[in-house]
Amino acid sequence: MRAHLIEGAAPLRALTAIALVLGLAACSRGVTSTPGDAPNLEKWIAEVKARPAPPLDPLPVMQQFETFEYNAYALRDPFSTAFTDEGGGNGPRPDAGRRKQTLEQFPLDSLDMVGTLGKGNGVVALVMAPDKVTYRVTPGNYMGQSDGRVTGVFEDRIELVELVPDGAGGWLERPATVALEDQ
């Protein structure tokens, strides 16, 4: 069968070669120019150059803007990073040297209190993180991404204090609660 295909391909190749030669021959006739074509080309170029140019659009009218003179040189620069310390230096600050705890890598609203262990002052809260691991939380632990220090563990909630920036270079304490999840 393979020999049959090869024999049938030879006439096809010959026909393709003949078609290519004829196509090239037909194209070559249009490419050659005679000395008589040059005057027609020069005449056409002269006609195009003799045509009048189209009119240009008028320039747009410039809009007049009201001038403004800046007179607030004596005031504080609103773009400077230097803030005045208005008693915020002695306020609460995050402890940069403190080692971060596991529950501080998750946002506070993604943590769920799922139960407690113990009674009275020995209550330990059980908190499930987004990684589906349950952690034990006692007062003094940290959780959430805003330096949230646990201040109290109760049977129905966890109370903590977060440190949030006040926008003027200082920090504010903000109380927060994680309630027991109703199932």
CA distances in angstroms from 170 to 6, 149, 158, 174, listed in the order given: 88, 18, 26, 13
Q: What is the pLDDT of residue 137?
A: 92
Neighbours of 156 (CB within 10 A): 9
**Beta-carbon count within 10 A of 137 CB:** 23
Other C-beta atoms within 10 Å of 146: how many? 19
Residue 21: pLDDT band by 50, 70, 90 thresholds?
confident
Question: What are phi and psi for residue 135, nearest 5 degrees?
Answer: -115, 150
Give the tens place of pLDDT for each residue, 62-120: 888 888 888 888 888 777 765 554 544 567 888 888 899 999 999 999 999 999 998 87
Distance between start and end Cα atoms, the chain:
76
C-alpha 141/C-alpha 102 separation (Å) is 10
* DSSP-assigned beta bridge partners for residue 153: 158
pLDDT tens digits for 141-169?
A: 999 999 999 999 998 999 999 998 888 88
3-state secondary structure of 120: helix
Name the E strands within the chain: 112-117, 124-128, 134-137, 142-143, 148-153, 157-165, 171-179
Residues 6 or more apart from 133 whose CB is under 8 A from it?
none
